[in-house]
Structure 1
Amino acid sequence: MHKFFVDKKDIIEDKITIKGEDVKHIKNVLRLNIGEIINVSNCEGKEYFAEIINIEKNYVEAIIKEEFESKSEPPIQIVLYQGLPKSSKMDLIIQKATELGIVEIVPLITKRTVVRIEDEKKELKKLERWRRIVKEASKQCRRGIIPIVSNIVTFNEMIDRLKDEEFILVPYENEMKRGLKDILKSLKKDRINIIIGPEGGFEKEEIERLKEINAHIVSLGPRILRTETAGFTAIAVVMYELGDLGVI
C-alpha cells in the first residue's frame, strides 16, 4: 500500500486532501485510480487508511476508512548532530538515519569541517534537498512522522542548544575508558542527543567544551569509523538497547 504524508490542516472530518508533488506522483507515476486505498499520515504519529474519491490537476481527495496510531515510531527520541561530510555523504546519512528512527538531524560545522556553505542560497538549496530525502525515506520505511532537518548550525550554536538537554552522547576516537554500551546499561531516558564529528574528528578543545555541558564522551570500539559509519553505529546501538530494533 502506498504511503503519503499530509499536514493535519488538510484533514477535515473524514476527508483528506493531498497536495503538492504527491499529486503528480499519484497520477503520473503510481497511476492510482478512484477507489484505491492508500495509507496517509498526519506527520504527528496518526495514520489513516483512506479511499481515493477524486483526482484533480492540483489535488487528490480521499475518504478516511480507518484511523489508528502509528506503530512505526520508536519509544525513544534521537536527535543527530552530524558534522558536515564531503561530497554527497550527507544524503546517505540523512536517508539511513531516518530509516533507523531519528526524530531530527542537525547539520553541524566544527573546526575541522572541510565543507563550508557561506552562501545563503546554496544553504537553502541543500536544506531543500535534504528535506526531500527525509520525506522520501519516511515514506519508504513507513515512518509515522517526517523527521526534522534543522538549519545548519555552528559548534557554538549547538552548545547553546544543548546546554539544557539531559543526555548527550559524543563518540570520540580518542576515548579509551568508556564504551557506548557501558553508558547505556543503566540509562532510562526517552530523548538522546548524539553528536558526530566530521571526517577529521573533533578538536580536543571542542571535546572539553562538550564535557562542560555534561556530554558523555564514549568509544565505539577499537577501530576508527568514518563519520557516516559512526552515526549509523551509534544510532543502531541506542535503538537496540533503548528503542525498538529487534522487537517483532
Structure 2
Amino acid sequence: MQFTYDNLAKDEVLKIENDNYKHIIKARRHKVGDILAFRNLIDKNIYYYEIFSIDKRSAILKLKSFEEKIIDVKKQLHIGWCLVDPKTVEKELPYLNELGVKTITFIPSDYSQKNFKLNFEKMQKILINSSQQCGRSSIIDLHICKSLDEFISLNPDSYMINFSNKRVDDYKDEIKTVIIGCEGGFSKAEVENFNDQKIVGFSTPLILKSQTAVSAVASKILI
C-alpha cells in the first residue's frame, strides 16, 4: 500500500482501530516509532504519522509532517456509463480508478434493466482501497443522471462509443466526455438522436461487453 486512508488524517493525533489496526499492526507488524503515510482523500496532502503507542485493539499515532503531493493523470475523462449490473461496475471500478478516470456518471438507458440499484457507499470503499494500492491522491467522482437526454444536455460535447468508421484513436485528444452503452448497446432511437459526428468506435469487428468497452476507451484516452 502506498498510503492508508483515514478521513481524520491531518489531525495532530490519530487513533487507528478496526480494519486499519488489523492491517497496520497485525498484518504488517508495524511497531512503535515507525512512520506511516496517510491521506484523507479530501485535500491533496500526504500526512506522515509516527506510531506512539499500541494496545490490543487500537494504536495512537502523532503527526510528524505533511506535504502536498498530487499523484494523478494529467488528462481528465468523464465517462457516462449506461446502467449495467452493479456487480460488473464494482469489479471494473478499481481498474478505471487506476487508469485515472476523473468522473463516472451512471445513466439509465433504453436497454438498461430497470431493477439495478447501485450501492454508492460500497463503490466508494472499493475506490478508496484502489487508491491506497496505486497511490492515486484522489478517487473517481461518482454520480447518477436521470436519463441519457439529461446527460447530453449537461454535457453537449460528449462522444458516444458505438459501431463507427471514426476511430477513438483519431479523437482521443478531443474526447473529454464519453458515453458507453449497457449490455445490448444503444437503441436505434438513442443513436439517431445523437450527433453522428461524435459517434466513434474501435478498430475491431468484435462486439465488446460494456465493461470491456469502458476499460478500452479509458486506456486509449488516458495512458
Same fold per TM (> 0.5)? yes
Are the aligned partners of 1:111 and 1:203 in contact in 2 as well (CA < 8 Å)?
Answer: yes
Contact conserved, 1:179 with 1:220, CA < 8 A, in 2?
yes
Q: What's 2:201 paired with?
A: 219
Which residue number corresponds to residue 52 of structure 1? Answer: 51
In structure 2, which of residues 154, 170, 183 is the aligned counterpart of residue 182 of structure 1? 170
Change (3 A) 1:66 1:87: closer
1:93-242 correspondence runs (5 A): 93-114=92-113, 116-117=115-116, 123=117, 126-150=119-143, 152-156=144-148, 159-165=149-155, 167-173=157-163, 175-176=164-165, 178-185=166-173, 187=174, 192-211=176-195, 216-223=198-205, 224-240=207-223
C-alpha contact 1:113 1:198 (8 A) present in aligned 2: yes
Tell me how far 1:2 sits from its aligned partner: 4.8
Question: Equivalents in 2 of 1:32, 1:45: separation in Å?
Answer: 25
Contact 1:91 1:133 in 2 (8 A): yes
Report the residue type matching 1:204 in the other structure: K
User: Any idea what SS the aligned residue of 1:51 has?
Assistant: strand
Q: Deviations over 1:123-151 (max 9, x none)?
A: 36x3222222111111111111122233x
2: distance between equivalents of 1:225 and 1:39?
40
SS of aligned partner of 2:77: strand
Deviates more, 1:202-211 or 1:58-67: 58-67
Is contact 1:103-1:148 (8 Å) kept?
yes
Shift of 1:88: 2.8
Q: Displacement of 1:217 after TM fit? A: 1.4
- The answer (yes or no) to whether the contact 1:109–1:154 under 8 Å persists in 2 is yes
CA drift at 1:216: 2.3
Structure 1 residue 102: deviation in Å? Answer: 1.1
Alignment CA distance shift 1:110-1:88 (3 Å): same
Contact 1:83–1:108, Cα closer than 8 Å, also in 2: yes
Q: TM-score, normalised by structure 2?
A: 0.81
Q: CA deviation at 1:153?
A: 3.5
Count of aligned residue pairs for this structure pair: 220
Q: In structure 1, list runs of 5 or more residues that go unmatched.
A: 118-122, 241-248
TM-score calculated relative to the size of structure 1: 0.74
- Counterparts of 1:165 and 1:87, CA distance in 2: 24
Match for 1:181: what amino acid?
D
Deviations 1:145-180 (A, max 9, x none): 122233x44424xx434524364222112x22x211
Work out whether residues 81 and 105 of structure 1, in 8 Å CA contact, stay in contact via their aligned partners in 2: yes
Report if aligned partners of 2:73, 2:100 keep a CA contact under 8 Å in 1: yes
Residue identity (%)? 21
